[in-house]
Amino acid sequence: MNKVYASAAAALADVPDGATLMAGGFGLCGIPENLILALRDRGCKGLTVISNNCGVDDWGLGPLLQTRQIRKMISSYVGENKEFERQYLSGELEVELCPQGTLAERIRAGGAGIPAFFTATGVGTVVADGKETRSFEGRSYVMERSLFADYALVKAWRGDTQGNLIYNKTARNFNPMMASAARITIAEVEELVEPGELDPDQVHTPGIFVQRIIQGPSYQKRIERRTVRES
């Protein structure tokens, strides 16, 4: 099976309107930026996107909001995107906010074939509204459903042509678990090498979870929020 695609556009050519996608990374770190821009150019509409957040107005998933391609976001944090706020408050965008640890576990559970689990996080708050709760050893827990997507878009530092991936530091946030929780996982890497060139003990995502892989042409190091102090 040839997993290597010539471009992000080619790797995304069969993504339909209404698809559910996961997008890896944390804020603007470790995001599949070339795949996101190619998805914007493809013009798919009505997307449900599962991601830690929605980037900023002009980067990350923000461009997909500007083109009105996202119907629903499942996220844990959305505080840096004014267009996100505007669309949500005007009723244009459906939003499901989820505690960050719970979001990570919902994705991991989806990849592990676990349909649901119980957690104490959110009990007694709006997070638990409409969800089943149970008591275990005197403590209340809320049931959370796992997440599984049609496509997972992930970003790695290095990968080989068989789809084995190594992430760089905090870029491991969400990317490895999302890679296992989708019907088709598409990875973009900064460096693409031949099989045998990666140390097997350093591989974070085995190639069995990856169906398509591209080498990104370029990358930007963007800062989501810059905080400085007077000298």
pLDDT in tens, 43-83: 999 999 999 988 888 888 999 999 999 999 999 987 778 88
139-145 and 47-50 beta bridge pairing: unpaired
- pLDDT computed for residue 185 by the predictor: 98
- pLDDT computed for residue 147 by the predictor: 98
Buried b (16+ CB within 10 A) or exposed e, 49-86: bbbbbbbbbebbbbbbbeeebbeebbbbbbebbebbee
Give me the CATH topology for the region 8-116+147-215: Glutaconate Coenzyme A-transferase (3.40.1080)
- pLDDT computed for residue 55 by the predictor: 84
Please identify every stretch of the chain with a pLDDT value under 70, giving residue numbers as ranges.
222-225
What are the distances in angstroms from CA 17 to CA 24, 35, 45, 86, 189? 20, 16, 5, 23, 26
Could you tell me how many residues make up the chain? Answer: 231
- CB count in 10 Å sphere of residue 179: 27
Nearest to residue 78, comparing CAs of 67, 87, 69, 91? 87
Confidence (pTM)? 0.92
- pLDDT computed for residue 221 by the predictor: 74
- pLDDT computed for residue 57 by the predictor: 82
Q: Which amino acid is at 177?
A: M
Helix (H, G, I), strand (E, B) or coil at 101: helix
Nearest to residue 104, comparing CAs of 150, 144, 163? 144
pLDDT tens per residue, range 5-29: 999 999 999 999 999 999 999 878 8
